[in-house]
Amino acid sequence: MASQKRLIKELAAYKKDPNPCLASLTADGDSLYKWTAVMRGTEGTAYENGLWQVEINIPENYPLQPPTMFFRTKICHPNIHFETGEVCIDVLKTQWSPAWTISSACTAVSAMLSLPEPDSPLNIDAANLVRCGDESAMEGLVRYYVNKYASGN
């Protein structure tokens, strides 16, 4: 299948030139359609020093259809469902293009951590803090969850 060839090329490209926002990116077991990323928190943000495991499910008609991503490490963010880890970002929905790769989609998700979109939230409580402009409360909440779940302790 063309999607398998593409995914093999993407893995090879990542190994040759790793994405700085990722600590790792691997295909799981025998399936090229399920990957795991370990995403790094962006320096200078409340997510700094965090590491999150992200499950990436790739459809068989990839790259025509986008992957789905789920944070398996708990994270507090307006566009990530607290319980399921589902990610809501346009790149993985209506703005998807075959020009995107799994690695570049991970970069978009990483950038989203610093630039939440509170008008399409999956975590209403976090979105309300952003909407109200309560940056210190949001930052404190994020740092709490980074320390509790994503610090590797």
Residues labelled as active-site residues: 88
Backbone angles phi, psi at 32, to 5 degrees: -80, -5
Rg (CA), the chain: 15
DSSP 94-146: TT--TT--HHHHHHHHHHHHHS--TTS-SSHHHHHHHHTT-HHHHHHHHHHHI
Encode 58-68: b = buried (16+ Cβ within 10 Å), e = exposed: beeebbeebbe
Cross-strand bridge partners of residue 111: none
Q: How far is residue 13 from each of residues 17, 69, 103, 128, measured CA to CA in Å?
A: 6, 20, 9, 39
